Structure 1
Amino acid sequence: MIKPPIPENENERLAALHTYNILDTLPEEGFDEITLIASEICQTPISLVSLIDSERQWFKSHKGLEVTETAKDYAFCAHAILEPDKVMVVNNALQDVRFADNPLVINQPEVIFYTGVPLVTPDGHALGTLCVIDNKPKELSANQIATLKALAGQVVAQLELRKKNRELNELSLELKRSNEYLERFAVMAAHDIRNPLTSILLTSKILKDRFKDSLDEKGNKFLDIINTSSYKLLALLENMLAYSKSNKMLSQNKEEVEILPLLDGLIKLINAPACFTISIPLIPVKIRTSVVAFEQIIINLLNNAIRYNNKPLGNVKIDYDENDHYYIFSITDNGIGIAPEHFEKIFESMYTLGNKDRFDRNGTGVGLCTVKNLVEALEGTISVNSVLNKFTTFTFTLKK
């Protein structure tokens, strides 16, 4: 076995990797969908999104493999990143002097066939690979390798989007309620989010057109998921950008909207876990308001209802009422609840309760403050009622 040499730019490469804050994070659907599609297209039992740290390779997504990391000295991917512009193909590791007696070859998971596409950042740093693995000799077609390269590009796009989202969250903490935040958000979103989203959309359409007849129903379904999600995110981004320059536009640009299909679309967009039931009003309702502001209010409150819920079966209910002057909405969940002494403070910027959510993440103290600002920009009010470990209800009004 030959240990992988250390890349010449290893310090810069590791520094670039750590800027993504992704090592040892929880699984994410977007990456798992990519490894699923890679395995389906290449017909391999294992596919991985592998990131090479200083002493280990760690898997952000690991289809067909139980472990989440292995030693760097044994990592095929540590060899692959040495040539970032090439696809590394090992048709039979038993006949390759670099890997013939590698523990990962002669023991489980018996890596005999390997193909890895380096994950190269816009700055040229190879962070790891998207790879496919089989326990018998194999060859991929030119089309399969081309598809694997396209999917690797989508992994990098996901990493960039994830990193940009974190940067935007940090920026919102610094700028809080100011118009400066809105303007800078618009610029960053326009240049740094739209382009990767467009790339994801175009690539998925190409994959669908080229491989729809060779993929099974499951593979085509996941390509459709990527397409649909990309369209929704692009539409949401364009709406947000349209209102980013001034809070006044929230009250000036109102339109009549059907609430039921709007709520149904937002629920699909947030992609709640399967153990959650979200109910909405059954009677058709039309209101006149700023649609983009209403969407942001609902998305924030629904996300909180899901994140801060410790029950095996989560229940969230959206209710509607109105009077002569206001539309009235309430969102009730059966989550962890909020103590009365925090009812007012939770709407303050950067105020958190210190609780980790069901995904083991800390809150930022931005979401409810943003909701309050949007509601007040629409000349409404928001309040909360709750009993610890039983329920929480947020009620907000919007002026007609």
Structure 2
Amino acid sequence: MPLIAREVNEDERLTALKSYHILDTAEEKDFDDLTDLASAICQTPVALISLIDGNRQWFKAHTGVEIRETSRDVSFCAHAIASYDDIMVVEDAKADERFANNPLVTGETNITFYAGVPLVTEDGHALGTLCVIDQARRTLDENQKTNLKILAKQVMDKLELRRKVMHLEAANQELLNSNVLIQKFASMAAHDIKNPLSSILLTSQALKIRHEKLQDEGCIRLVDLNIIATKNLMVLVEEMLAYSKEPSLLIAKKQRFNANTILQKIVAMLTVPDNISIELPVIATELQLSLIAFEQIFINLLSNAIRYNNKDNGIVKVAFSEDEEFYRFEVEDNGIGIAEHYHEKIFSNNFTLKVTDRYNQKGSGIGLSTVKDLVNALNGNIYVQSALEKGTTFFVSIKK
């Protein structure tokens, strides 16, 4: 049998069908009841809710048959949705040139009578039909046709309601995810503020002592450090305020930025002991990402690499590479390391290794969990390789 002509807007129709997320779902009593009722009203042994996919017709509900799908090429319903009629009735398929040679007519199924009402969306896309079938020749009176159309509208109403409920659930889940993410982000960002605040406090104290005793030009350098740290702090606070008002922007707002400049800015915000050296890559590519998410990821990874380094000569290295799909970073240190059985757990919320850092402080269990959430939200991945007393490397890939 030749292929059935598709609608001119077939791609749009298939997109509309997929938006209902109904294909290949389990049987549901509400839909089964409607095919039972259609079968009873039209006095046919078979009634179906048929949805026309790209190459098949799939039955959401089926009264009188057990089969769940057939090829679209032999489908009566494919003709019904292409006819633009409010109902298509075939009283005797064997006498209809469109179906006389159809294997569903000539084979064991022996379809003779068919009546189908298209299931049409508000935008005019026919998703499929509510149809009734018999192996005997028959007709439908006007009352039966009217009732079949009413039932078809109820099918469409249920599909619309089901889709709206799914959209509401998805929106609610997105809201919950945003709330959790912004809470964790705020906690981590507040923790990060301690770094520039510490710089301000330490340099202010040193400035006061030097000013009182020495009155030398070194005061200028300390003042400059205060100004830089304060400006970085103000930027971070402003970003926190902006994203707290609209959490979705934390991920959705992408911008182009120079990665070298941002990484240098992050290092300037951190308290780096004299025995720790940080090696940053030279990145020729400008990144197109959420800047605030990028900053928070690397503030945390670099801060941890510094805090948990117990070597006399600590080294932190950042490496960069890219391919067609991802930006890839490595943050490597020669610090205390992480036992292998903790490599997955460290990304869990509120999990800590119960070890103190170089400042005799314990971790909050928030940082790496939030980093993983941010990387996942950027359609990326993060994992760790580490050995005790040898060091740790975090591998981060972020979708372009």
TM (norm. structure 2) is 0.48
Structure 1-normalised TM-score? 0.48
Larger radius of gyration: 2
